[in-house]
Amino acid sequence: MATSTDHTHHIKIRSTQMEIPSKGAMYEDDYDRKLKDAEAEMNRIQLEHLELEKKKIALEELTGRKRAFLSQQAELTEKLTVCLTLIDRELVEMRKESEELEQCRVAFAHNLEKIDKYNPENWTRENLSEKLERASVTLDVAADEYDQAAAYFTSSRCAPIFGKSSKRSRASSRKSEDSEFAVNLKNGFAFNLPVVILGSTALLIYLTR
């Protein structure tokens, strides 16, 4: 016959057995946990992959911009270098041409001043021949200098300044004179033209004696 103590012990054992989960439930909980962990890991890996893809795209774009910059830099550097060289050459030519034109201006202004002083209307019949001879020499010298300058600048941008030759009957003699004028300019226009002016002045002084 079972005692009261045995009955109580039997109830406690049954109660304890009810509190212990079954093996199937333990396996199911472990599987769910592992599945969630695997899903979380996959999500993490996917996010890292997307982040790497973004960085890769950004790096490729940056590399492309760098290549474009280097290409444009090289192209523009070459253009500017060539342009600066040509500008420097042009400036040298312009300065040289400007100096030569200034010398022409001095000579022409000097000749014009002398020519303007002649007024045949005020000359008497007695000295008309003598003064005409002197004035003609002045005109010839001024015309020669003009023709030589016009021939020298004929191939430059200043050619329109001089227009046509001041003489029409001395075309053959102009070639040798033009050549001489060009040589003088190449050797130093600023030094040779004043010599021409002084020579012309000396000739006029000699004729007026």
Q: Report if residue 12 sits inside a domain.
A: no
Q: Indicate the burial class of 167 (C-beta count within 10 angstroms; 0-12, 13-18, 19 or more).
A: middle
Task: Report pLDDT digits (tens) over 42-96.
Answer: 999 999 999 999 999 999 999 999 999 999 999 999 999 999 999 999 999 999 9
Outline where DSSP puts E strands in the chain: none
Global model pTM greater than 0.75: no
Residue 200 Cα distances to 139, 140, 196, angstroms: 11, 10, 6
Residues 6 or more apart in contact with residue 10 via CB below 8 angstroms: none
The answer to whether 155 touches 178, Cβ cutoff 8 Å, is no
Q: According to the model, what pLDDT value does residue 6 have?
A: 53
Give pairs for 181-188: CB < 8 Å, separation 24+: 181/148, 181/149, 181/151, 181/152, 182/151, 182/152, 185/100, 185/152
- Chain-centre distance of CA 53, in angstroms? 42
**199 occurs within a structural domain:** yes
Asked if 167 and 147 count as a contact pair (C-beta separation under 8 A), the reply is yes
Residues contacting 53, CB < 8 A, separation 6+: none
Walk along the chain (209 residues) and give the pLDDT tens digit of each residue: 445 555 555 555 554 444 555 556 666 777 778 888 888 889 999 999 999 999 999 999 999 999 999 999 999 999 999 999 999 999 999 999 999 999 999 999 999 999 999 999 889 888 899 999 999 999 999 999 999 998 998 888 888 888 755 444 344 444 444 455 555 555 544 445 554 455 555 545 544 45
* Structural domain span for residue 135: 95-208
152 located within any domain = yes
Residue 123: Cβ-neighbour burial (10 angstroms; 0-12, 13-18, 19+):
middle
Residue 141 lies in a domain: yes
**In-domain check, residue 85:** no
> How many domains are there within the chain?
1
Distance CA 167, CA 174 (A): 10
DSSP state of 32: H
CA-to-CA distance for 90 and 97, rounded, in angstroms? Answer: 10
In-domain check, residue 46: no
- Please indicate, yes or no, if residue 168 is contained in any of the structural domains: yes
**DSSP H or E segment with residue 50:** helix 23-116
Q: Which two tokens stand for residue 8?
A: 């109580």
Neighbours of 177 (CB within 10 A): 15
Q: Is residue 101 part of a domain?
A: yes
